[in-house]
Amino acid sequence: MKTHPGREWIEGPHIRFKDHQSVQLLYLKEEGAEVKEQPVAPEAQLIKLDGIAAGGEHQHYVLMRTPQAATAEQEGVARILMVGDMHGQLSKLVRLLQAHRVIDEERNWRWGRGHLVMCGDVMDRGMEVLPLLWLLCKLEQQAQEAGGALHLLLGNHELMVLQGDYRYVNPNLMQRYALSGMEYGKLFGKDWYLGQWLRSRHAVVRLNGLLISHAGISAATAHEGLNIAALNASIRAAIDKRSLTDLEELLLGNLGPLWYRGYLMKNPYYSPATEQEVGEVLEQFSASHMVVAHTTVDRIKSFFGGSLWAVDLDIESPAVAAGALLFEEGKFYVLSSDGGRTQASGA
C-alpha cells in the first residue's frame, strides 16, 4: 500500500452529496478539518475519488450515487464466505481475506463470482472502523463488476451508531475526531455517504439456502409471517423513527435479527431456542441452514444437529485471529488466517 507520511490530515475525504452536480469533501486533520467541493457529472452513477485512510495509506473511494445492497435472496452462488463480528479490526480482516485470495496485496477483489458476507458488527470497539467501512465500499463495487457480491449485514452495533448511541465506540477514536472538530456520529448521518450506505444494507439474506443474519431469526420474529424482503424493509424503515410500532419494536429489540441470542446462550428476556424451533424457522424461510454471528464462540462450529452455524470469534482478543465459514459445492469449510481450510462436519 502506498503511504503518505508527510500528509497533515488524519484521513479523508468523508463525503456527502451537496447536490446532483457536486460533492462535499471533508478532510480530517490533527488541528482541525478542511472542507472542499468537487464537481461531478449529473448523470454519473459511480463516483471515484482518491484519499488517505487513517495511518496515511492511500485509499480509493468508489461511491454509488444511490447506495443499493446486493440482492438479498439468490441461488446458484459459486461460493459463499461468511465472516463474524470484526469490530474495527481491519488488519485482521485483511490478513484473512488475503490468505484465501479473496483480495490481493493492494486490497482489490480477486474472488470472481464468489459472495463475501460480513455478518454485521464491523463497527465499534476497534480503531480501524472508518478504513474498514471504506474498504468494504470499494470491494462491494469491485465484486459486482466481477459477477460476485459483498453483503454487509446490519448488526446491533451498526444500529446503535446510526441511532446516535456511541457507548461502544473506542474512546480514542472519539477523541481523534473531537480534536478535528468533527463529531464522530455525524459521519453516519443521513446526509453523509457512509450513513446512506449503511442505511441501505440488509439485515437478512438467503444465499444457496443459507439463512444468514447477525443474530438469527427467532421463532417470535418468524411468527410475524414476514418474508425476507419485508423483514429488511421494515428494519431499514425503523432505524430513524422516534416512535416504533409493536412490530418494529420486536424487529429492533432483543427478539429481532440484530440482537437475539436465544440460539447460543440463556437470556433473561426469553427461553433458549429448541431444535424444533430452528427447524420451523428454516422451513418457513425455505432454508437448509442458519448462520449467525453476534454471540461469541470459541471456534466456528455448528449447533442443533448441524442446522445452525455460529461464526463470531472473540476478535478483540490479541490472541484470536479472524476466521470464516465457507460454503462451496454443498459443503462447509472453516478457514483460518494462516490459509488453513478444514472441511467441517454438520452439513
Q: What is the pLDDT of residues 196-218, one digit of tens each?
A: 999 999 999 999 999 999 999 99
Least confident among 24-33, 98-107, 173-182, 260-269: 24-33
DSSP state letter for 118: E
pLDDT band at 89 (very low <50, low <70, confident <90, very high): very high
Q: How far apart are the first and last CA of the chain?
A: 39
* Residue at a domain's end among 22, 45, 66: 66
- How many structural domains comprise the chain? 2
Residues 5 and 127 in one domain: no
Show the cell assigned to 132. Answer: 474498514
Identify the band that residue 5 occupies on the pLDDT scale cut at 50, 70 and 90. Answer: very low
The answer on pLDDT for 301 being more than 80 is: yes
Residue where a domain stops, chosen among 15, 42, 66: 66
With 50 as the cut, is the pLDDT of residue 7 above it? no
Last residue of a domain, one of 51, 66, 81: 66
All cell numbers assigned to 215: 443474530
Question: Is the predicted pLDDT of residue 60 greater than 80, yes or no?
Answer: no
Looking at the structure, tell me whether residues 128 and 261 fall in a common domain: yes
Indicate if the pLDDT at residue 118 is higher than 60. Answer: yes
Structural domain span for residue 61: 1-66
Q: Do 47 and 77 fall into the same domain?
A: no
List the single range of 43-47, 247-251, 320-324 with lowest mean pLDDT.
43-47
C-alpha span between 189 and 37 (Å, rounded): 19
101 shares a domain with 50: no
Mean pLDDT of 56-84: 88
183 and 51 in a single domain? The answer is no
235 and 157 inside one domain = yes
- CB of 292 closer than 8 Å to CB of 246: no
Output the average pLDDT for the chain: 91
Instruction: For residue 264, give Cα distances in angstroms to 45, 271, 273, 344.
Output: 42, 11, 8, 19
Grid cell of 195 as nine digits: 450513513
Residues with Cβ < 8 Å from 270, sequence gap 6 or more? Answer: 218, 220, 254, 255, 262
Is residue 153 domain-shared with residue 297, that is, in the same domain?
Answer: yes
Cell of 22: 457536486
pLDDT at res. 13 = 80
pLDDT at position 344 over 50: yes
**What pTM was computed for the model?**
0.93
Residue 53: pLDDT band (50, 70, 90) is low
Model pLDDT, residue 306: 96
pLDDT tens digits for range 157-168: 999 999 999 999
Extract long-range pairs of 60-68: CB within 8 Å, 24+ residues apart.
Answer: 60/138, 61/13, 61/15, 61/134, 61/137, 61/138, 62/137, 62/138, 62/141, 62/142, 63/15, 63/137, 63/193, 64/141, 64/197, 65/17, 67/193, 67/196, 67/197, 67/199, 67/200, 68/200
What single-letter amino acid sits at 207? L
Preceding amide of 42 cis, omega within 30: no
- Could you tell me the three cell numbers for 133? 467501512
Cell numbers standing for residue 60 = 480509493
Is 164 found in the same domain as 26?
no
Are residues 209 and 328 in contact, defined by beta-carbon separation less than 8 angstroms? no
Same domain assignment for residues 50 and 129: no
